[in-house]
A and B are shown apart, each in its own frame.
Chain A
Amino acid sequence: SAVISQKPSRDICQRGTSLTIQCQVDSQVTMMFWYRQQPGQSLTLIATANQGSEATYESGFVIDKFPISRPNLTFSTLTVSNMSPEDSSIYLCSVEGGAGGNTIYFGEGSWLTVV
């Protein structure tokens, strides 16, 4: 299994500002994933963060809005830029693990409210 720590766990942000969420894993992993859940919506994949290369973004998500860093095999950050109320969401990071590599482990999430 993998233990994932996320910071901050919760924050209230002003419109137009940016916030960086940190994700720390207790073991080295190749890929880290960032998800978002807006109120009443499904958990949706934002991007896949690979160490040593640019993140791969899903349709509807762009690097300017959600820049991602992956400086080493245990750490990643997601920045939510120029926030608006529509960015109020739970943001989760996750990693792949388990036998066969098909179990996904999640952090506890970062609950952001944009006012």
Chain B
Amino acid sequence: ILNVEQSPQSLHVQEGDSTNFTCSFPSSNFYALHWYRWETAKSPEALFVMTLNGDEKKKGRISATLNTKEGYSYLYIKGSQPEDSATYLCALYNQGGKLIFGQGTELSVKP
């Protein structure tokens, strides 16, 4: 059974702080890793799709890295803003469209 772990479960930071969280996954038979941002009452929003070991992707103040050999990915947020408050999900993607999700990291950014 594939297991995707995220840490921490929740995080409270002040506006302007930079933060990061971790996604761990089995390194065997890797195909792709997805990061999503999920705000309450909205659809999960795709942030990154990462496929190659050593991948680094960036979207504005948010970036992510991938290490498929050791089975982890980091998500970084630089200069957190209150609008960054959401749950951040990572998921292993298998061919055929199936996603295996971690439990998410709930981020709260206080002004």
Contacts and interface: CB of A to CB of B under 8 A. Distances in A.
Chains A and B bind each other: yes
Interface residues of A, number: 25
Nearest to B34: A104
A53 interface: no
Q: Is the interface of A mostly helix, strand, loop or mixed?
A: strand
Contacts of A9: 41
A41 B100 CA distance: 12
Contacts of B104: 42
B97 A33 contact: yes
Interface in A1-55: 4, 9, 31, 33, 35, 40-45, 48
A36 to B, nearest CB: 11
Contacts of B46: 98, 103-105
Nearest to B98: A45
Contacts of A41: 103
Given A33-B97, A105-B43, A106-B44, A43 B49 contact: no
A92 interface: yes
Interface residues of B, number: 21
B25 to A, nearest CB: 12
Given A103-B46, A103-B49, A108-B41, A42 B4 contact: yes
Contact of B98 (A42, A48, A98, A107): A48
Given A42-B102, A102-B49, A108 B97 contact: no
A105 B103 CA distance: 18
A106 B98 CA distance: 13
A104 B41 CA distance: 18
A82 B15 CA distance: 46
B93 A109 contact: no
B72 interface: no
30 contacts: A9-B41, A31-B97, A42-B4, A42-B101, A42-B102, A42-B103, A43-B44, A43-B91, A43-B101, A44-B101, A45-B98, A45-B100, A48-B96, A48-B97, A48-B98, A92-B43, A96-B97, A98-B49, A102-B32, A102-B93, A103-B46, A103-B49, A104-B46, A104-B93, A104-B99, A105-B43, A106-B43, A107-B43, A108-B41, A108-B42
